[in-house]
């Protein structure tokens, strides 16, 4: 039907004080479970009048249901044709959306709800983020855009339908923060750790020449799947108008215009190459383009883009999530990076780097099958142990479902994608003062291990197992040779770098075969094959 979906996070106390923590907008129209939708906070396509109506309605729902204290989540559907608004769901408790709203604003909903339950009122509680400069009754203000993208694992279930419905199918999610929607979106896409560098190209199934091609595109973007966002961008690249795309997928025209702006900028970069001046390069980075994405568009290597960026001194600044849009000073170091362009004066970073001895912990990124909360538990306890040992514990992660991304778990939190580019920029900022003793990569599962080599090449010390030893254990070829050298028994195995080599190794070992790549966890991309045809498909 194309109805739009919104959520309001509300907190109420025993004195009937009600505050809205955050409004959340689903980019996908109604019909997709909110846990499987790409969402943004704050809501970006509401008029102030609509927002106030929704705000009053959500508070009225809490009063009518009888939520005396604590947080609740109220979901609305809005008909874009006539503005009709209906309440579709209400959770009288903390929910997945509450966790997202807490991370998006810095307001600890569960902690405050616990205190309200024992009789405190909102005006009696301090706001931790501002160091008590504001009470908890102060509604959070957001001067940035937060994007949440779910992570799916359909590759683990070949028979499952990837069509998204009202039943939740995602296994994890990533959150990213930027000064603009485009920056926030592209940061979230590369934070998913599915090999994306941004709003990458994608093949649309069933493409033909002529009018049949348009029908295939309309069918693809009209079906909600994990790839729909990229298919919408691909439809714009292939010449469909914004109106045609909206008609097929029912995503709000404002979002489609944002995707079009990214696609148009990509075309410009492909045609003219990278800009040679700092101002235009900063403009590209402010739209969320990663070095890897710009390298792909200009047929260069990411290292060359990074070198140009450093030569032009185009570097990110770090801003704080402070619940008050910088109205009050915030002693809490909860930060995100941005390449914003200043209206006047110099760019100002709010990182306020300390002179302490510091250790950086890399988290595990979005949950997925084989890498989940158990690794986050390790990251949290590593942070606690470092604090006890007198070090400043710095956490880098991008998963809103975890304890490691709570602002009070570590001394300093950077809510950033776990890519080499993003992590190295944070470490450069931290190295300006004090001493970065090193980075711990062994507690976040497979994600940080993949970054170890890049960090070492940039002169950043890795604590614990050396990157070369990590590679020795993870690289199947090197590990096989090590076992042979140590004269240890191992099953018959072989390494293949091409389809022909794979066939040869398979004929030598015989079926059934276990096939898997290097540097994976939990059997990702692993299959048991029983025949030559299955090997060919793999």
Instruction: Convert the pLDDT of each residue in 173-226 to its tens digit.
Output: 999 999 999 999 999 999 999 999 999 999 998 776 655 688 899 999 999 999
User: What count of Cα atoms within 13 Å lies in the side-chain half-sphere of residue 284?
Assistant: 29
Residues 272-298, mean pLDDT to the nearest whole number? 96
Q: What is the mean pLDDT of residues 373-401?
A: 97
| pLDDT tens digits, one per residue of 449-484 | 999 999 999 999 999 988 999 889 888 889 999 999
The Cα angle at residue 253 between residues 252 and 255, in degrees rounded to 5 = 70
Closest residue by Cα to residue 174 from 153, 147, 201, 199: 147
Q: Is 250 left (phi over 0), alpha (psi -120 to 50) or beta?
A: left
**Residues facing residue 314 across a β-bridge:** none
307 half-sphere exposure, CB direction, 13 A CA radius: 6
Phi-psi region of 29 (alpha: psi -120 to 50; beta: other; left: phi over 0): beta
> How far apart (Å, rounded) are the C-alpha atoms in residues 60 and 452?
52
* Inter-CA distances, 18 with 59, 68, 120, 411, 520, Å: 7, 10, 13, 31, 47
Sort strands 357-362 and 392-397 into parallel, antiparallel or unpaired: parallel
* Helices marked H in 352-491: 373-388, 420-430, 446-449, 452-457, 467-474, 476-485
Cβ–Cβ under 8 Å, residues 434 and 411: no
Least confident of 266-275, 456-465, 508-517: 508-517
* CA separation for the pair 511, 191 (Å, rounded): 37
Q: Say how far residue 362 (Cα) sits from the centre of its chain.
A: 15
The Cβ of residue 265 has, within 10 Å, a number of other Cβ atoms equal to 16
Most confident option among 131-145, 484-498, 506-520, 524-538: 131-145
Q: Model confidence at 345, in pLDDT bands (50, 70, 90)? A: low
| Rounded (5°) CA angle 260-262-263 | 65
Whole-model pTM?
A: 0.93
Q: Is the pLDDT of residue 536 over 90?
A: no
Instruction: Answer for the pair 262, 287: CB distance below 8 angstroms, yes or no.
Output: yes
Least confident of 66-80, 227-241, 333-347, 474-488: 333-347
Say how many Å lie between the first and final Cα of the chain, rounded: 39
Hey, what domains does the chain have and what are their CATH numbers? 4-142 (3.30.470.20), 357-472 (3.40.50.20), 490-537 (3.30.1490.20)
Q: Which of 439, 452, 336, 321 is nearest to 382 (CA)?
A: 439
Number of residues assigned to the chain:
538
Range 110-114 contact pairs with CB under 8 angstroms and sequence separation of 24 or more: 110/71, 112/11, 112/71, 112/136, 113/11, 113/69, 113/70, 113/71
Return left, alpha or beta for 262; rule: phi > 0 is left, psi -120 to 50 is alpha, else beta. Answer: alpha
| Residue 517 scores a pLDDT above 90 | no
Taking alpha carbons only, the member of 452, 487, 456 closest to residue 470 is: 452
């Amino acid at each position: 039907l194309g109805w739009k979906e919104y959520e309001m996070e509300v907190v109420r106390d025993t004195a009937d004080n009600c505050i809205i923590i955050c409004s959340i907008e689903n980019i996908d129209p109604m019909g997709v479970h909110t846990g499987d939708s790409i969402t943004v906070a704050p809501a970006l396509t509401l008029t102030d009048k609509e927002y106030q109506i929704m705000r009053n309605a959500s508070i009225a729902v809490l009063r009518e249901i009888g939520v005396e204290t604590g947080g609740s989540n109220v979901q609305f559907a809005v008909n874009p044709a006539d503005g009709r608004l209906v309440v579709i769901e209400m959770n009288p408790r903390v929910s997945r959306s509450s966790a997202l709203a807490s991370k998006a604003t810095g307001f600890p909903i569960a902690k405050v709800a616990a205190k309200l339950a024992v009789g405190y009122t909102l005006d009696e509680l301090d706001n931790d983020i501002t160091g008590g400069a504001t009470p908890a009754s102060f509604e959070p203000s957001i001067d940035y855009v937060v994007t949440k993208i779910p992570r799916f694992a359909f590759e683990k279930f070949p028979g499952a339908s990837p069509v998204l419905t009202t039943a939740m199918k995602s296994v994890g999610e990533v959150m990213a923060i930027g000064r603009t929607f485009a920056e926030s979106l592209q940061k979230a896409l590369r934070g998913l750790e599915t090999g994306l560098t941004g709003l990458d190209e994608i093949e649309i199934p069933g493409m033909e020449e002529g009018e049949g091609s348009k029908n295939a595109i309309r069918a693809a973007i009209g079906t909600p799947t994990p790839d729909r966002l990229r298919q919408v961008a691909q439809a714009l690249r292939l010449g469909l108008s914004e109106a045609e795309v909206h008609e097929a997928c029912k995503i709000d025209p404002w979002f489609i215009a944002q995707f079009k702006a990214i696609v148009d900028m990509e075309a410009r970069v492909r045609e003219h190459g990278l800009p040679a001046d700092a101002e235009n390069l900063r403009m590209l980075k402010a739209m969320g383009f990663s070095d890897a994405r710009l390298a792909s568009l200009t047929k260069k290597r990411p290292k060359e883009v990074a070198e140009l960026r450093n030569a032009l001194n185009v570097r990110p600044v770090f801003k704080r999530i402070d619940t008050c849009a910088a109205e009050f000073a915030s002693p809490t170091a909860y930060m995100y990076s941005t390449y914003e362009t200043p209206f006047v004066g110099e760019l100002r970073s709010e990182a306020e780097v300390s002179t302490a001895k510091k250790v950086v912990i890399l988290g595990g990124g979005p949950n997925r099958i084989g890498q989940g909360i158990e690794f986050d538990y390790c990251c949290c306890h590593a942070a606690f142990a470092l604090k006890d040992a007198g070090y400043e514990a710095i956490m880098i992660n991008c998963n809103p479902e975890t304890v490691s991304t709570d602002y009070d778990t570590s001394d300093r939190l950077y809510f950033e994608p776990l890519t080499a580019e993003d992590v190295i920029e944070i470490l450069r900022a931290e190295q300006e003062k004090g001493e970065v003793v090193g980075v711990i990569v062994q507690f976040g599962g497979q994600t940080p291990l993949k970054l170890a080599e890049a960090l070492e090449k940039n002169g950043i010390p890795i604590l614990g197992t050396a990157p070369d030893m990590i590679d020795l254990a993870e690289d199947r070829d090197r590990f096989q040779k090590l076992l042979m050298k140590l004269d240890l028994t191992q099953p018959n195995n072989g390494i293949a770098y091409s389809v022909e080599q794979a066939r040869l190794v398979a004929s030598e070992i015989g079926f059934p075969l276990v096939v898997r790549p290097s540097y994976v966890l939990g059997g990702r991309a692993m299959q048991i094959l029983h025949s030559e045809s299955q090997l060919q498909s793999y």
